[in-house]
Structure 1
Amino acid sequence: MSKSVLTAAEIAETMDCSESMAYKIIYNLNKELQEQGYIVRRGRVSRKYFAERTGLDPGGGDPSA
């Protein structure tokens, strides 16, 4: 079973960017989630929300599944 959250290292690998850029992505996605009333963890982002917003699935499967 895969984790329900992603770290900056996992996002950096998936998006082929630096960890610094991955942290900026996490910050922006978490900001959107907070505005929708969700509780978020700094430095982590929901795998499902990441796949929804980017169209990329870090697990290698279909993000719509």
Structure 2
Amino acid sequence: MTKIFYSAQDVADLIGVSVSKAYQIIAQMNSELKEKGYLVQRGRVPIAYFNDRFYGGVSLGE
């Protein structure tokens, strides 16, 4: 099964921030997604949306 969400630990590792900061980033992204009408999962962010926001849609090979 393919992973479709990043956890706070994944985000922290990818961008070099603390887990606490990663949770803040995820909360912001989930807020943006919620405003667009998407369902969100607390503490996780879709990989596709994360890649779009941080890397301009470039896949990191996951």
- Please report the TM-score for the alignment, with normalisation by the length of structure 1: 0.84
Alpha-carbon distance in structure 1 between the residues aligned to 2:23 and 2:43: 7
Aligned length: 61
Shift of 1:3: 0.5
Runs of at least 4 residues off by over 6 Å:
none
Alignment partner, residue 21 of structure 2 = 21
One-letter amino acid matched to 1:23? Y
Which of the pair is proportionally richer in helix?
Answer: 2
Alpha-carbon distance in structure 1 between the residues aligned to 2:32 and 2:10: 20
Unmatched 5+ stretches in structure 2: none
Unmatched 5+ stretches in structure 1: none
- Please report the TM-score for the alignment, with normalisation by the length of structure 2: 0.88
Q: 1:6-56 CA deviation, whole Å, 9 max, x = no partner?
A: 000000000000000000000000000000000000000000000000007
User: What's the % identity of the aligned pairs?
Assistant: 42
